[in-house]
Amino acid sequence: MPELPEVEICRRTLERHALGQTIEQVSVLDERILEAVSASQLRNALAGRQLRLARRHGKHLFALHSGDGWLHLHFGMTGDLVAYDEAAQQPRFARVVIDFYSGRHLAYEDARLFGRVALASSPEAVISERKLGPDPLDPAFDLAAFTTRVSGRRGTLKTALMAQEVIAGLGNLYVDEIVFRTSTHPNEPIENLPSRLYRRLYAAMKNTLLEAIDLLEQDAEYPGHYLLPRREEGARCPRCPGTIRKITVGGRSTYFCDRHQTLGRPGGAR
């Protein structure tokens, strides 16, 4: 499922291959992908326009067009953006295709159709309507803001980090990786977290996301010291002699080490 790093790669694809080019036409191949806009409205809004700016907020991607509105993309379970030059390269599950006068094409593909293509008056309108929290990579989202938002929640560490109204863009896989790096149990109640943990959590969040973006950009594997390639019950922990366990938190499969992820517990890691 695309999380923030995958959507950031889509933002870069859009920026590299589509900005500054004039749109010749827009083809909607499956109208089920559209949200609150018809195929003809989408075509009319974009044809003859240029895309001027690509902006990401959490898992949402926005492109400002020269008609002074925004294209809004959400990637659901299997969404992706693909740029190509030859029509024959069109992805199998392309749902919307933008053709540019330059001969380039940009396809929004989505095999399972849980993503959405829409128009928006502004990113701020979407953020406000969906009550999205700050983007974790926004420079203005500092340690103090992070600490205030997370410590003000009830529930467990993992459910707080997953809540899009707390922080926009963190999802199941990367939250497990972040929590793993801080040696904390994913089900630790927020009120049990020591205040010194917040600095570690904040750093782990930023580092995990930035590293993941770099790895995706290079099409590289996750390094061996990550939890991500070991999401399997009974796997060996890459950091200690412990064992990786699978539990369900908030309905989501959650993996953690049964030995070193004990920070905040009596007798646990320090």
**Residue 260 contacts by C-beta under 8 Å, 6 or more apart in sequence?**
183, 237, 239, 240, 242, 269
Q: Which residue, 241 or 251, has its beta carbon nearer to Zn ion? A: 241
How would you classify the pairing of strands 60-65 and 79-84?
A: unpaired
Query: How far apart, in whole angstroms, are the C-alpha atoms of residue 8 and residue 14?
Result: 10
Residue 239 engages Zn ion in binding (rule: CB under 5 A): yes
CB of 97 or CB of 183, closer to Zn ion:
183
Taking the complex as a whole, the smallest distance from the CB of residue 103 to Zn ion amounts, in Å, to 52
Q: Is 231 in the site for Zn ion (CB under 5 A)?
A: no
Binding range to Zn ion, per CB under 5 A, among 9-17, 24-32, 166-174, 255-263: 255-263
The answer to whether residue 31 is catalytic is no
CB of 265 to Zn ion, least distance (A): 14
Which regions of the chain does DSSP assign to beta strands (E)? 23-28, 51-57, 60-65, 69-74, 79-84, 94-100, 105-110, 116-120, 244-249, 252-257
> How far apart, in whole angstroms, are the C-alpha atoms of residue 229 and residue 238?
10
Specify the residue, 156 or 184, whose C-beta has the smaller distance to Zn ion.
184
Contact 10, 80 (CB under 8 A): yes
Task: Please give the Cα distance from 220 to 239 (Å, whole number).
Answer: 21
Site stretch for Zn ion (CB under 5 A), options 7-15, 23-31, 214-222, 230-238: 230-238
- Which span (6-14, 127-135, 187-195, 234-242) binds Zn ion, by CB under 5 A? 234-242
Q: What are phi and psi of 122, to 5 degrees?
A: -165, 155
Catalytic annotation, pick one of 130, 239, 252, 259:
252
Q: Is 246 a catalytic residue?
A: no
Nearer to Zn ion, 239 or 252 (CB): 239
Which amino acid is residue 39, in one-letter code? Answer: A
* Residue 179 interacts with Zn ion (CB under 5 A): yes or no: no
Residue 245 designated active-site: no
242 binds Zn ion (CB under 5 A): yes
| Catalytic residue annotation | 2-3, 59, 252
Binding site for Zn ion (CB under 5 A): 237, 239-240, 242, 257, 259-260
